Structure 1
Amino acid sequence: MGIVKDVLYKASNKNLLSVFKNQSIFPYYHLVRDNQVPHITHLYPYKNSKQFLADLDLLSANYKSLHPKDLLENKKSGNTFLLTFDDGLHEIYSVIFPILKEKKINAVFFINPNFVENNEGLYKHYISIIITHLDKSNYDSDSLLKISKVFNFTFNNVNEFKKNFIGIPYSQREKVKEVLTLLNLDIHSYLKNEQPYITKKQIQEMIDAGFYFGGHTMNHPPLHQLSHQEQKKEIIDSVDWLRQNFNIDYSFFAFPFSDKAVSKTLLQELFTYDKDIILFGNSGLKKDIDSRIIQRFSLENPTKNTAKQIVTENLYKYFNKLIGKYNIQRK
């Protein structure tokens, strides 16, 4: 959360949730898990199954579950929620899928095709694995220096090292593999043994059970670090992969990292590719330039009260209206 949201969260009251119920909300998560896992630990916190179940109970008590087909048929109505999950992590199958089936709550899952089957993974996940390894050796200074030289950055302490390492640009992702070799970390064994991502067979099982899937780019790059044509290819290829491999007749897509720098031209080209495509951003409760673009907010932080978070998002919506930033501008 930013400074304004932090202030609003502290000032918010969970009992105000009933005031803000006449709307459709789109919360998103990445995973739900009851213990720490090396490829995520140093990137962001996440909820355990008990906390996730509590979220579902709260959402179901205050909103009606919106079915993804209602979006495709433009049947959005007030006081509804639709869950979405990014990155195609294994937990969407092993943990989340059984819970949602039991609760009879549908959802959309956004995946990166190049990581399906666990033959390769997201460079950010590799970085978290490396930091976990360094943590076990108490951040050996020699290893830190060697890594910083690979990426040509300096640091004064361990926290600064981690910040610089996690923040390396997408263009330097191949160098992360150099570091894995440097530290004698066998990433292929990790992918094979840990199975951090979902498989085609599991996706098919979830589709057969009535769940929906969407693209999330092929490799999960920060789109603003790519050329226009590279952005377009990453997006369309990921949607096409799902349509071709699972014989689905719809197009869902969620922008990785952020949708703030996505251009009006790119959006128009995506609507030309499929006029019925539904796009998902993560800018909170804001109005985009087209009704086919849906903005979401995260409920993943386990230290935040869910009801207060939803109230905060609504208070922030009104704050943005006051300062003229409720309507998203695309260049």
Structure 2
Amino acid sequence: MSLKAKAKKLFFVLADVFGLIEKRWRNLEPGVYIFNYHRIGESQKTLFDRAIFSCDAASFEKQVVDIKNNFTLITTKELAELYEKNQSFDKRYALITFDDGYIDNYTDAFPILKKHQINATFFLTTNFVDSNTIPWWDQVAFILRHAIGKKYQVPGTDKLFKLANHDIDRTIRQIMFYIKQSKAFSTSEMLADIKQRFPSANDLLNQQHPNLFLNWTMAKEMHDNGMTIGSHTLNHFILAQLNEAGQREEIERSKTLIEERLNTTIETIAYPVGRHYCFNDTSVEIVKNCNYKIGFSNEPGINQFTHCRYKLYRYSVATSSVKELRYDIGL
């Protein structure tokens, strides 16, 4: 466990002992709280990126019930209507969202949401739907996990990582951070470098044919049962690493594809990765010009009516504990 993780754990224990978590939770200010998930399941069973798992199914059910009991749940359409009023928010509103379109969103999360009559928005990376694609981050994690004992230097930096079994998950997260924020190299170039450095692990990767993402039939069923579908671009490229034409292709074409497949109007988009360095003013202008009404980042925070509707904050869920989720939001 890293020093930062140990410190967070200590602060959590102290806040719990002194009742600060419950006190803060009861007194959350009005605003829009958006809880973002990625994968639902048991992370230790995957050969790919474990950090992309938000929690297991049982924990997810407890969390969404807690959210439903403590917030006024709204849809993205209702959120857009709130912003059009241009008035202070007088309640604690909440949305539940999912990025990427992994198949467990359909098999694990969707039944729970239906059971509790909760709407969620699922942002689909359209070229992943109905495919056996292994996205770049899952490829990176797989290769590094199968290169134990070796070293890797991130291109364009002096960062040299030893790939050791006891902390491989943390090392993968650190390398991912440098890949995502790189200005000199795209994710495709970084992935190509990793494949070239570790050919044996890449050979093992080429033997994998997982079914990671949902298909259009599943997406339609979810949409027909009250779930909202949004865009997560065509290929999940980091938009800030693309030129204007490349960004437009990713943003515009994904919207068109979903609308054609589901016979609906797509009004929301979540920027891939979503941190402030992963999209830019060009991204936002294209989103506006493509007639999206809402754009979501992955920066944490509470949304107020004065906040730009094309850069909305979301809390990325990465815990199985309801109390830890409350701590992450409230403190």
Shorter-chain-normalised TM-score: which range? 0.7 to 0.9
TM-score by length of 1: 0.77
CA offsets 1:66-113 (integer angstroms, 9 cap, x no match): 123312434776222110011111110010000000010001011111
Distance 1:232 1:289, change over 3 A: farther
Superposition RMSD on alpha carbons, in Å?
3.4
Aligned equivalent of 2:66, options 58, 62, 78: 58
Deviation at 1:29, TM superposition (A): 0.8
Aligned match of 1:324? none
* Partner SS for 1:190: coil
Distance 1:195 1:176, change over 3 A: farther
Aligned match of 1:118? 131
Aligned equivalent of 1:99, options 112, 120, 139: 112
Deviation at 1:286, TM superposition (A): 5.2
Aligned match of 1:308? 327
Q: Name the CA distance, whole Å, in 2 between partners of 1:63 and 1:163.
A: 32
Distance 1:128 1:286, change over 3 A: same
1:81 partnered with 2:94: yes
Structure 1: state its 5+ residue gaps.
Answer: 313-331
Aligned match of 1:264? 281
Aligned equivalent of 1:295, options 300, 313, 319: 313
* Partner SS for 2:312: strand
Answer with 217-226 or 68-77: which moved more. Answer: 68-77
Answer with 297-306 or 46-55: which moved more. Answer: 297-306
Q: Give me the identity figure in percent.
A: 21
Deviation at 1:244, TM superposition (A): 2.0
Q: Name the CA distance, whole Å, in 1 between partners of 2:23 and 2:320.
A: 19
Matches within 5 A, 1:138-287: 139=148, 141=149, 144=150, 154-156=160-162, 158=164, 162=172, 166=176, 167-168=178-179, 169=185, 170=187, 171-176=189-194, 182-183=200-201, 185=203, 187=205, 190-191=208-209, 194-261=210-277, 262-274=279-291, 276-283=292-299, 284-285=301-302
Q: Name the CA distance, whole Å, in 2 between partners of 1:30 and 1:121.
A: 15
Aligned match of 1:316? none
Distance 1:308 1:215, change over 3 A: same
Aligned match of 1:27? 35
Q: Name the CA distance, whole Å, in 2 between partners of 1:44 and 1:31.
A: 6
Q: Name the CA distance, whole Å, in 2 between partners of 1:68 and 1:98.
A: 20
Structure 2: state its 5+ residue gaps.
Answer: 84-88, 180-184
Contact 1:126–1:176 (Cα < 8 Å) also in 2: no
* Partner SS for 1:119: coil
Q: Name the CA distance, whole Å, in 2 between partners of 1:47 and 1:120.
A: 23
CA offsets 1:225-284 (integer angstroms, 9 cap, x no match): 22233223222222222112222113210011134133334323321221x521111222
TM-score by length of 2: 0.77
Q: Name the CA distance, whole Å, in 1 between partners of 2:314 and 2:154.
A: 38
Contact 1:131–1:162 (Cα < 8 Å) also in 2: yes
Aligned match of 1:39? 48
Q: Name the CA distance, whole Å, in 2 between partners of 1:46 and 1:239.
A: 26
